[in-house]
Structure 1
């Protein structure tokens, strides 16, 4: 997001949540909402909401609040959801297939254009509307389709080598499930690391903090 490069990561990570809550309001035919009302729904403060949104321009009107449809659209534009960035999925195991089948890529700003694996067991299988292709054909595919991003559902041991190969092909944005932090090795790469185990352990901590008597 070059035009908003001074915006903190914590604000950026709240944008999808704003977008989701506003979308829910739209589905209930809510046309406008004050920062205080939105704060109450999202369990934030009105000041926090105003500060976050002011990072991207003034969207509210004094005495009116926010136009829900307009703000929802603006936040979608800020995140680039209308661009449908082409991406490939590397690794058609259980996790990769689940993501390919159940993620709504288009509403999240992407278009899944290819799935790759190096296992003869899965190459040629149909996953959603795409056929799993051999990793041997990755270079030719990328030259033809020019994907910008990749989902990595591969073992940690091969993550560096795979990312290096993709970077050479112009794919430098990663939704990374490999448990290998690519941003440490690839300067200039855009990386969103997903650690499901970390999320589960965070839940474990919260449970034990809430119910210490269970020890």
Structure 2
């Protein structure tokens, strides 16, 4: 699968590059070769060069990569400076933890509203924002025009909530509901996060005592 001519596997590696380069910057490293970067990221140097060449390539022969420049360029490619206004639906344990501890603005998102169907949660402050009733969703969205929604709701609730949000202008979902929204909404961007699948992957690897193979496949 490709988006804008770039394979999804390459796109999924971009945040890893961004994170590793950011760590190197914080440690005062100024430049790095593709070989050195490959050793740190458990990718091949060839894979790194191929990935970056999808966006024009940034290294210099005999010099390697300027880490500050490459970090900035990958951030630009990802779009971390765009700032998408975001709402979170479901202020339970998971939703509250995500709202309180995720540095959204560092990743291109601005959390502007939190909603829950439980009346007892209304007015509770999380990450500096009051929890609102889901009954206020329509009015809030029409006044504030968020484009991204984080779903931390039960699987059974997602088929009802998602169409409402799409009608209100939501174009992208970070979906923890375990319901695959792409089935019904192929025209919106969906990133499904299934924590159970991740845990089962760990279970398999521990059972078979094999390290995770990095996402080096194309």
> Shorter-chain TM-score: which interval?
over 0.9
Separation (CA, whole Å) in 2 of partners of 1:40 and 1:118: 48
What TM-score do the two structures reach when normalised by structure 2? 0.93
After superposition, where does 1:119-198 map in structure 2 within 5 Å? 119-198=118-197
- Segments of 5+ residues of structure 2 without an aligned counterpart are 211-218
Q: Which residue of 1 aligns with 2:103?
A: 104
CA distance in 2, matches of 1:191, 1:14: 17
Q: Which residue number corresponds to residue 65 of structure 2?
A: 66
Q: In 2, distance between residues paired with 1:41 and 1:136? A: 48
Superposed CA offset, 1:103-123 (max 9, x none):
010111100000011111111
CA shift for structure 1 position 29: 1.1
Displacement of 1:172 in angstroms is 1.9
Q: How many angstroms apart in 2 are the aligned matches of 1:62 and 1:105?
A: 36
1:193 positional shift: 0.4
The whole-number CA distance in structure 2 between the counterparts of 1:123 and 1:86 is: 21
Could you say what secondary structure the match of 2:157 adopts?
helix
Counterpart CA distance in 2 for 1:15 and 1:41 is: 15
Structure 1 unaligned regions, length at least 5: none
**Alignment deviations for residues 23-72 of structure 1 (CA, whole Å, 9 cap, x no partner):** 11111111111111111111111100000001111211111111000000
| Distance in 2 separating the partners of 1:184 and 1:50 | 35
Give me the whole-angstrom Cα distance separating, in 1, the residues matched to 2:41 and 2:71: 15
Q: State the shift of 1:173 in Å.
A: 0.4
Q: SS where residue 174 of structure 1 aligns?
A: strand
Bigger relative contact order, structure 1 or 2 (CA pairs below 8 A, ≥6 apart):
2
Q: How many residue pairs align between the two structures?
A: 209
- Cα deviation, 1:66-95, whole Å, max 9, x if unaligned, reads 100000000001110011111000011111
